[in-house]
Copies of this chain bind each other. A is one copy, B any other.
Amino acid sequence: MKEKRQTIQKGLVWEAVTTATNHPNAEQIYENIVLKHPSISRATVYRNLNMLVDEGKVKRIRVLGGPDHFDRTLGNHYHIQCTACKQVSDIEVFDDIDLCAKNVETFGYVLESYEIVFNGICPDCQKKHAAQRQ
């Protein structure tokens, strides 16, 4: 069991994520923190963001073809990214994806596309995994 230490850097990353009104990416978080704490390293920001995500305190928003964005974890909701300014915003969740897509326009967005990626273990890998454990 690893001992977890509270550092000022981790506190600064947490503060930057929770006080941000938008959903900043790692670089934006770094730029925010470096103003108050010039010695902080980008690597430390990435590391602490990963820790906070692992602890469930911060949610990672992966977007396609761009850097990850980060959000304090709240209820279930989807995100929308502006294809022009790359800003990420919240949208409400609906059960039906098409309903949800239409709803996007009620937020003032002009919807261009949406992508859904499922992740799972394929049958072959399930077999391999099972075989390895025998």
Which residues of A are at the interface with B, using a C-beta cutoff of 8 A? Answer: 62-65, 78-85, 87, 89, 91, 95-98, 101, 104, 108-126, 128-129
CA distance A96 to B124 in the complex (A): 27
> Are A123 and B96 touching (Cβ within 8 A)?
no
CA distance A60 to B71 in the complex (A): 28
> Are A81 and B118 touching (Cβ within 8 A)?
yes
Report which of B89, B116, B121 forms a contact with A112, defined as CB distance below 8 A. B121
Copies of this chain assembled into the complex: 2
**B residues near A116, Cβ cutoff 8 Å:** 78, 97, 114-116
CB A60 to nearest CB in B, in angstroms, measures 10
> Are A85 and B122 touching (Cβ within 8 A)?
yes
CA distance A128 to B76 in the complex (A): 31
